[in-house]
Structure 1
């Protein structure tokens, strides 16, 4: 009897941990392999400060997604009934239980007053030194050097108490080895009298063959090619267009003024009229570049293209900070190169958001942790649900990634693979490929810098239903040619395309030529914005999330591109074919057909001729 009692005591004293103890045990939440082009340099300084963003599970995201698709489907009775900011916040806020548990955990490590909350409380932000973050997440940060010489502070793995795994969706910056790249390349040039003369011709009086020069593409050429040349915006102000800048890029007013004076004189005032907002210490610099400085090329291409096509529609430009390396201090903690989450969370906090937002940046999807990609994509869904068309370029490296000459090596198994891009792989945005030429347009390829319009299939996000018919038909057409090199069941991109080679722009007071889907993106954004203007003037809602409408009806307003391919990875890459394809989508727009596709008369654009 005594022995059994003693054994019972021993069992109680040394048995398994209690459920509470088990739930608070730290367990790995996420592991992400360090990309091949990063090399560990050593431990991160303990006093290096980062702004940590903690994403909580959005309690009713499935319902938000349902609302998004219903209000974006032209055959649904709710089409165009976009949600308000408060309605979106109600759907994405975490459960009371999730918020309580996460707060309890954070309060053990940080002062409650140091925590900031998003309007829906689905993201909590705190600024801490690395030493405290390492204890918070039971991890070890290191300094990694990229092949281009820049450095970044990250960790390949982090942990959470087990009871929080179902309540926290992401914590960043941790595993995100993001290399956000503007999808453009530039060549210095000289304007030339021929181009200047074409630029000053009156709008509406020329044909494409007369106003377009393949070596120097101007706003008049693009407006003529895509049939917006005679349309004058009717509700500027009520209708606006947004522009996202990252990586120290900015939009220079002086260069924009010179550009407009030469290529759209009646819009010159627009150079001083657009607004610029700084997010997370994003640059607002307007001074010229010094010797050896080359920032602002992408920003010039974007804003000048938008102004050249959509003026006088107001532009709201966002300049989002975060570009390693930076020198941190107490007053200016490191934000790091994580622009998308920082940007979209800021925009979601605003009462008013432009109806179209142009983004000319991409990352190789495999450098973006799955958790990060999911939370950013879900935030794009929330923004789209508010009636915003979010536009991204499809990349400049064909099937090899963000730029020509990518490694084509999978970050999972180190095997050759086509490299999809993010955010183009997100199903809640519209991706834009690039074309070249005027009769007919073909898939863009530039022999000097090997720029090739990007296209592909996501490894992270499954194919959305709105794509099923179009993509299934394409896969049947191409057969097994690239079998094993891509995920045929993933979200496919691009959705549409536009001209993307030899855009004439002004940078640092000099004419240069820009190429890439960075050029196609603001072009498409400007055209969709003009279409929204016509809709709003007719008393209707803006298009909002484009894709369900595009794949069902809008595709009829695009001219099919059937020649060329997404060259990369020592292959021809995905070919352009009749119908939708994974390099030019449905093709390039025609404004008269777009008006018809939304139920407006083609004559809407004809009475408003600028003389």
Structure 2
């Protein structure tokens, strides 16, 4: 930000410092342990101008009704099924109550004067104004200091705690600059050192490991070969498994039904895509590529030797399923941040959500307004993208596939809850979000937390994030086992240590420690416990530290569905290889839903949006997976079973049955 100087008396500082907090005020926020990396230094000069943003509480009644609204447009039995909202509808429904806006505005004016210009932002979530440090200290009964991050060379202005009147507290979610502060973009203090990301993503630098790769022992002789699908899964194998055919290359498709794919710190190569098309889908012309929606400096493609296994995999799987429908690449964040620059890769998805929903940039919920200055990138970035943070510049596609994530334990609950609300709002607007469920069974990444990635001394199962959010669709992984064919039922992936892939791999699944079982899933989960009760002690409400239990008995179940995720034929770095991971499963299932949307659009209907209520009410449109486990944390994990299970969910797609079902809905 730019620092403006105004001629205020230095004595003001002493007056503020000496003023006692009135009994009518209460502490609204106080610094927590996450802020210890920042060192408090000099008191901020009273004349420094600060951009003040007061996040107003979302409409309480709306937040209570939000789940019902989503079910109203998503449940197959609802009269309003498919009648998705516009973004303006969402903003109007969730905007703060008028009395909250009035009360907070009157409070500001009573302290700082009627002439203070206060703006109510377009998304209705903020009151915004500029104030000097002295004015803000008077308003909030606090003191502001410079806080320095020695490792990153950053500086922000922040306070240890701040106070608001008791009658105002119920109307305010969060104030900035508050305990999280506002960054000072002083060039002499912004020299940053590179720190590699501490995560190894299941498709990038976040969360799970990159897709598992190994040299392919067998190159299928032609694109239609099915005899060796137990060795290498090609597009023809997927067509046989899920009973669909490629579209005609000349089919007329909707220009408004592109399939979105999220990428972060991993990039596709056009040469790899061309090699794949040439060998397996000759009906797709070389040069076919996604439309780039670059976010905050994200760009692609790259040279073949710089290609990433995740991006190549996503597009080599999705494009053959939906072509001539198109794909859209949401390439997120500049290279500096995407590869761990400044250590701010703890968070994930906030800048992506900013770019597809401008209101998210300023959305206040769960003690967080806008992006987290510690967990998320800060733009402009002198080491990369020098533009402003991108807010609302891209329209979300009808379907978005995400093969990235972390463990629940890695991020604060409020950070995950705020994002989960956004996924709910996207569902209201008709967007289907699919997320890979993870590659470590019931555990986490080795060395992340406990040595084996599990909780409480390496014994408690570690749920995944954002998978635990109830308003998206999680996709687990299945496999054609050696000696089996595509005409036989698949099994859950269980690749044990010593497998040719890099280490063990099993389909991520379990129960959230943060989010409860959603109503649409309650019957399926109850049936699983009644008929196939796991042989492990459990706990309730996420309280694993006060229990001997290994999993949360009343948490949201993961995953919802599954798709093939092992021995996928791919081209990466110019070489034919086999890859595996739920990173593959998500774009496969998502692409099939994108095709269903295409058929609905042709029939004059809208996209299917959030599909979980339909699938849980009609599990017969999926191929139930009854064989396999997802080991981790020193156990065999959970077991597949008839019906829903926390390994492969409801099962894999039976495309004709799914299509018939969704076409029957209005």
Q: Same fold (TM over 0.5)?
A: yes
Which of residues 551, 557, 563 is equivalent to 1:498? 563
3-state DSSP of counterpart to 1:506: strand
1:567 equivalent in structure 2: 631
Which position in structure 1 is the counterpart of 2:431? 388
Tell me how far apart the structure 2 counterparts of residues 312 and 281 of structure 1 sit (CA, whole Å): 28
The whole-number CA distance in structure 2 between the counterparts of 1:470 and 1:153 is 50
Question: 1:376 aligned to 2:426?
Answer: no
1:197 aligns with 2:221: yes
Matched, 1:539 2:604: yes
Other-structure match for 1:441: 490
- Structure-1 residue corresponding to 2:14: none
Between 492-501 and 335-344, the greater mean CA deviation after superposition? 335-344
CA contact (8 A) 1:169 1:375 kept: no
Deviation of the 1:171 alpha carbon: 8.3
**C-alpha distance in 2, partners of 1:424/1:180?**
17
Cα distance in 2 between the residues matched to 1:387 and 1:288: 36
SS, match of residue 195 in structure 1: coil
Three-state SS of the structure 2 residue aligned to 1:267 is coil
Q: Secondary structure at the match of 1:366?
A: helix
Where structure 2 has 5 or more consecutive residues not aligned to the other structure, the ranges are 1-17, 45-50, 130-135, 182-196, 203-207, 359-391, 481-485, 539-548
Query: What is the aligned partner in structure 1 of residue 381 from structure 2?
Result: none
Q: Choose the corresponding residue for 1:276, options 278, 282, 292.
A: 292
Q: 1:519 to 1:404 in 2, by over 3 A?
A: farther
CA contact (8 A) 1:409 1:416 kept: no
- Secondary structure (helix, strand or coil) at the match of 1:531 reads helix
Shift of 1:402: 5.2
> Unpaired runs of 5+ in structure 1?
1-13, 35-39, 127-132, 328-333, 602-611
Q: 1:88 to 1:359 in 2, by over 3 A?
A: same
After superposition, the CA RMSD in angstroms is 4.4
Describe the superposition over 1:563-595 as per-residue Cα deviations: whole angstroms up to 9, x where unpaired: 111100000111111110011101111111112
Paired residues of 1:249 and 1:283 also in contact (CA < 8 A): no
Are the structure 2 counterparts of residues 159 and 319 from structure 1 closer, same or farther at C-alpha, using a change threshold of 3 Å? farther
Alignment match, 1:468: 522
Name the TM-score, length of structure 1 as normaliser.
0.77
1:347 aligns with 2:390: no
Q: Matches of 1:243 and 1:123 in 2, distance apart?
A: 31
**What corresponds to 2:382 in structure 1?**
none
- Could you say which residue in structure 2 is the equivalent of 1:87? 89
Q: TM-score, normalised by structure 2?
A: 0.71
Query: Which of structures 1 and 2 has the larger relative contact order (alpha carbons within 8 angstroms, sep 6+)?
Result: 1
**Alignment CA distance shift 1:99-1:577 (3 Å):** same
Deviations 1:152-194 (A, max 9, x none): 9999x9745345754555689969x9958225544555567x5
Q: Deviations over 1:480-505 (max 9, x none)?
A: 52421111111111000011011122
Aligned 8 A contact 1:80 1:543 in 2 = yes
Partner of 1:416: 459
| Deviations 1:427-464 (CA, angstroms, capped at 9, x unpaired) | 10000111111432111122331111010111111111
CA distance in 1, matches of 2:590, 2:312: 15
- Residues 151/419 of structure 1: CA separation in 2 closer, same or farther (3 Å cut): farther
Equivalent residue number for residue 544 of structure 2: none
Alignment of 1:111-190 (within 5 A): 120-122=123-125, 159-163=161-165, 166-167=170-171, 169=173, 179=199, 181-182=201-202, 183=208, 185-186=210-211, 189-190=214-215
Equivalent in the alignment of 1:254 = 271
Is the counterpart of residue 57 in structure 1 residue 60 in structure 2? Answer: no
C-alpha distance in 1, partners of 2:89/2:53?
23
Quote the Cα distance in structure 2 between the aligned partners of 1:341 and 1:442. 35
Which residue is equivalent to 2:308?
296
Instruction: Give the equivalent residue in structure 2 for 1:585.
Output: 649
Q: Distance in 1 between matches of 2:512 and 2:406?
A: 12
Does the Cα contact within 8 Å between 2:536 and 2:550 map onto a contact in 1? no
Q: 1:251 Cα deviation (Å)?
A: 2.8
Contact 2:253–2:324 (CA under 8 A) maintained in structure 1:
no
Do the aligned partners of 1:186 and 1:512 also contact (CA within 8 Å) in 2? no
Query: What is the rounded CA distance, in whole Å, between the counterparts of 1:298 and 1:459 in structure 2?
Result: 28
Residue 422 of structure 1: CA displacement? 1.2
**Distance of aligned partners of 1:262 and 1:417 in 2 relative to their CA distance in 1, 3 Å threshold:** same
Matched, 1:69 2:40: no
1:510 and 2:575 aligned: yes
1:253–1:324 CA distance, 2 compared to 1 (3 A): closer
What's the counterpart of residue 341 of structure 2? 326
* C-alpha distance 452-187 of structure 1, shift in aligned 2 (>3 A): closer
1:224 is paired with a residue of what secondary structure? helix
CA distance change for structure 1 residues 186 and 391 in 2, over 3 Å: closer, same or farther? closer
